[in-house]
Amino acid sequence: MIFPAWRQQILPSLAILWAVAGLLSNRFSILAIGLFLWGLSVLSSHMAHRTLSNIAISLKLSQTHAEIGETVVSEIMIENPLPWPILNARWSIDLPRNLWAEGADTAQIVRGANQTIKGTLWVGARQRVRIRYRLNGQDRGRWNIGPSSLAFHDPLKWSQLIHLDNHQQHLTIWPRRYPLPPGFWSHNADRGLIKGKPWDPDDPFRIMHIRPYQPGDAIHLVAPYASARLRQLMIKQREPMKTSSVEVLLHPKTTEQHWHGIVRSVMEDAVSAAASIVEAAVLAKLVTGLSGTGSLPGHIRGFRFAPHRHSSAQELLTALAWLQPSSTMGDDLVPVLTQLLPRLTYDTTLVIVGRYWEDDLTQNLQAKVLRGLKVILVVPGDEIPTLPEWVNNVWRFSHGEWSHD
């Protein structure tokens, strides 16, 4: 955008008047002054348009995904390919209030839900200037960085120019994750594991005992503390695991009716619990799927990520980071279950994360349980809902702490 100063608005008319006066009075000096002012006005306008069209602003992030509390370096690059400098340029960029910005020579101005950081710089002729600042997020989510703007004058300072860059960068802050408690995958944590067959794969979450090293044992199974204490190489013998796939169903409904609002702490506990379970299952190389109610970009009425052996923890954690509550979460549970049910087999463990146990869960899962489906319930908060007797295991999760019911 170009905002002409008073000189740029008045001088063209004044130049024409001087030139006409010079012609009528037959005085060459007055005519020359008029033509000079008119040429100066044309030159200023040309330089303003050329500067505005050639100046370039770009945004860049050192990484697009980060943990809560992790520092991410963001960069604004301003490039001037023209043979004249840009003086006293004022730059600014919009950031969400949930990201804290730090950097040299930057000022923070909080306004509503957003904040703006801004500063002043000089860009020399054919020069590229980079401005770096650090971002730190304390809340999960998908945060938009930008748009950015650069305000400056043309070389003659006859016009104010504003270059707007509406492109945005997106920074995803993953939810917090916590280690799963011992016996989480057990059908009954008080009585120990449900044993698999000797040929079943090892359970990476539970250790049966420690035994001496045998040729061919994997190095990552070495028990360092036991080896040091016994002065010989000892190996962790893992429990054979019966479950071959894990499905996580997240139902982050926090109040009985949607018009009662959202209990944000319960919502975040539910997302953190689901993220902890998903990450642990993927790292254990289990076939992992994720479904849930709520809204994601492209998934307004619930979401579903089909399980496969090479599930990506980054993809699933990103989905949980972007998840937002919706007023239709109660109604979306049945369509999500309808898509999920064909995937539930006798060797599947279904982990349900939610504060409420809906009747639809009982109606849709009871037949699957009779065929061997295992169900674990994780309740964010302290209140355990009324459950059918076939729920194998119940855990409470609140503010990073696990407890078994």
For 296-347, what is each residue's pLDDT tens digit?
888 888 899 888 777 788 999 999 999 998 888 888 899 999 999 988 887 7
Provide the pLDDT confidence category of residue 102 given band limits of 50, 70 and 90. confident
State whether 118 and 7 are in the same domain: no
Instruction: Tell me the mean pLDDT in the region 12-27.
Output: 72
Q: Please tell me whether residue 121 adopts helix, strand or coil conformation.
A: strand
184 inside domain: no
State whether 33 and 89 are in the same domain: no
Number of domains in the chain: 4
The answer, yes or no, to whether residue 205 has pLDDT greater than 70, is no
Average pLDDT, the chain: 81
State whether 167 and 44 are in the same domain: no
381 inside domain: yes
Instruction: Tell me the mean pLDDT in the region 361-374.
Output: 87
Bigger pLDDT: 107 vs 261: 261
The answer, yes or no, to whether residue 270 has pLDDT greater than 90, is yes
State whether 155 and 229 are in the same domain: no
Residue 213: exposed, middle, or buried by beta-carbon count in 10 A (0-12, 13-18, 19+)?
Answer: middle
How far is residue 394 from each of residues 192, 289, 347, 388, measured CA to CA in Å?
14, 20, 19, 11
Provide the pLDDT confidence category of residue 122 given band limits of 50, 70 and 90. confident
- Choose from 3-7, 95-99, 322-326 the range with maximum mean pLDDT: 322-326
Within 73-130, residue ranges assigned H as helices are none
349 inside domain: yes
State whether 262 and 393 are in the same domain: yes
State whether 231 and 334 are in the same domain: no
State whether 287 and 399 are in the same domain: yes
Q: Are 399 and 381 in contact (CB under 8 A)?
A: no
State whether 380 and 272 are in the same domain: yes
Provide the pLDDT confidence category of residue 15 given band limits of 50, 70 and 90. low
The answer, yes or no, to whether residue 37 has pLDDT greater than 80, is no
Question: CA-CA distance, 36 to 144, in Å (whole number)?
Answer: 49
pTM for the predicted model, two decimal places: 0.74
181 inside domain: no
